[in-house]
Chain A
């Protein structure tokens, strides 16, 4: 009987096994990006910018050029790379502490300059790598290691909806909020990220994909429970769907 290949590791994915926590969606999203890079045939012209946070090691898992950036600065590092080499496909991959807190100025101005870039924003409502501290995206009353009694909106403010914050900026062409909790939502996420890459290739402009992600370890939930929390609690505050799409 002849062997038929139904699925194999994308070339853009390295051979190194993922080291993320069991059930963490970082692995899933990394793989989606690698698949998209393969499908678009852009591995040799893709340059990624990794964040500070759990995904700082993203470069271990991708087989294309990747640079680190200081905490929050990925969008401006990506800006410089893209401006110097406009023919390359450049994206940043950032968590919520990185993008929505320390890197707020960088993301706002990069979006506002309308850089022809793709930004993948992983929102899991906490600082994962440093042990689960409160992030700007942490939900009201959510318990974290720096909000042990739950986020008090009176002193810590309300969670930031980054996608909606970027919506009015004229330089921004495409924003979609997705999640990766089940097969259907993962397929939708892939579609959105692929469109964000295509937008860059076809010079549409700045595209921003927010992926609601889980953090089983810091949330102290098993993977199934954590995905359920994304579906039922997070997605209630951070509404899934297309937020802006200008062609």
Chain B
């Protein structure tokens, strides 16, 4: 596609368009609701962009194909929903260990186990504390379709910038809904011509090189981890992202919510105009904007944490606040999605 323009689009389709605009030329995915529109639409769009689309035979295969694609230096992506993302934890860890960039999208559904196919935020833990080993992954949580598009694009740049997997953490509500957004087909990916010297493209005029995560010699793995640790520190310093909504000196109550729950919270705030209530929305749920949260909450009486789970991000809010404010939590579990009115009731009863 050429040019820009406003489109009315489904969340899952916005992800595909963003990935292609960001130069993604390899996609592997496996069917699972509520993200099926991604592989379906990608199977049509990717060949148009002369890239590779593969319907993998499992999520394990999807992520390991992305690993393989990343070794060549190509921009690659896979997508899934919660149970499939569990299977991908292996590959995410290997990619982080081998310092391979790649983008993953989790369109969350209810769990644990097979759960259900309703929107949920119950993979927060799995997203911000992924896989085995001592590593981190930048995780962006969009809240509307413009952000689904923008942050998916950003994810590719961030993955290349840090040579690390990056996740888009979204859910069935944002994946399935339609909304207007602006396409930015003219946006240029960062590092487009950056030579990926480490990539395996054939040992032309040089010795063979390797991509590995196995480091058996004494002390080598520790040194590698310390090097990675510096990378996580840089990410924490540079990539924290958040939104403040109606937060000012007069704010008395602060809602903390991410993704679709932040949207529903804004809906609730609209219904409670007489209350001085603001919203703090982490956009990167890793790295979590702890200091910014504490600052935003400085003048408020109470902090409300709203999630579509039983209190996962709540841990991070408590870390950020360092016990400085009372916290009230409201969550819906198992694919339950609250109406704004439910949040209003909770606030009224607990303010």
Contact = CB atoms under 8 A, between A and B. Distances in A.
B203 interface: yes
B208 A81 contact: no
Given A70-B64, A106-B61, A84 B208 contact: no
A65 B68 contact: no
A121 interface: no
Contacts, number: 119
Interface in A73-106: 73, 76-81, 83-85, 88, 105-106
Interface residues of A, number: 32
Given A63-B203, A65-B202, A70 B94 contact: yes
B67 to A, nearest CB: 6
B333 interface: no
Contact of B65 (A43, A45, A62, A79): A79
A105 B208 contact: no
Contacts of B281: none
B210 interface: yes
B228 to A, nearest CB: 16
Interface in B35-56: 52, 54, 56
**Residue of B60, B64, B65, B211 with most partner-chain A CB within 10 A:** B64
Contacts of B207: 14, 63
Nearest to A48: B208
B67 A69 contact: yes
A66 interface: yes
Given A47-B200, A67-B200, A105-B57, A78 B208 contact: no
B50 to A, nearest CB: 11
Interface in A195-239: none
Interface stretch (B69-77, B159-167, B305-313, B324-332): B69-77
A189 B203 CA distance: 26
Contacts of A69: 64, 67-68
A65 B61 contact: no
Given A80-B28, A81-B72, A84-B74, A65 B64 contact: no
Contacts of A66: 200, 208, 210-211
A64 interface: yes
Given A63-B203, A63-B208, A106-B61, A70 B67 contact: yes
B208 to A, nearest CB: 4
B208 A73 contact: no
B69 A80 contact: yes
A43 B207 CA distance: 10
Contact of A56 (B201, B202, B214): B214
Interface in A29-85: 43-47, 49, 56, 59, 62-70, 73, 76-81, 83-85
Contacts of B205: 44
Interface centre among B52, B66, B213 (most CB of A within 10 A): B52
B98 interface: yes
Nearest to A12: B208
A109 interface: yes
Nearest to B71: A67
Contact of B68 (A44, A62, A79, A105): A79
B97 to A, nearest CB: 9
Contacts of A68: 94, 98, 210-214
A44 B203 contact: yes
B76 A80 contact: yes
Interface in B182-230: 200-205, 207-214
Nearest to B73: A84
Nearest to B216: A57
B90 interface: yes
Most buried by A among B68, B74, B204: B68
Nearest to A86: B52
Top 8 closest A-B pairs, CB basis? A80-B68, A77-B68, A73-B64, A65-B200, A80-B69, A64-B208, A67-B211, A80-B65
20 contacts: A14-B207, A44-B204, A44-B205, A63-B208, A65-B200, A66-B208, A68-B213, A76-B56, A76-B64, A77-B64, A78-B68, A79-B65, A80-B26, A80-B65, A80-B71, A80-B72, A81-B71, A83-B69, A84-B52, A105-B61
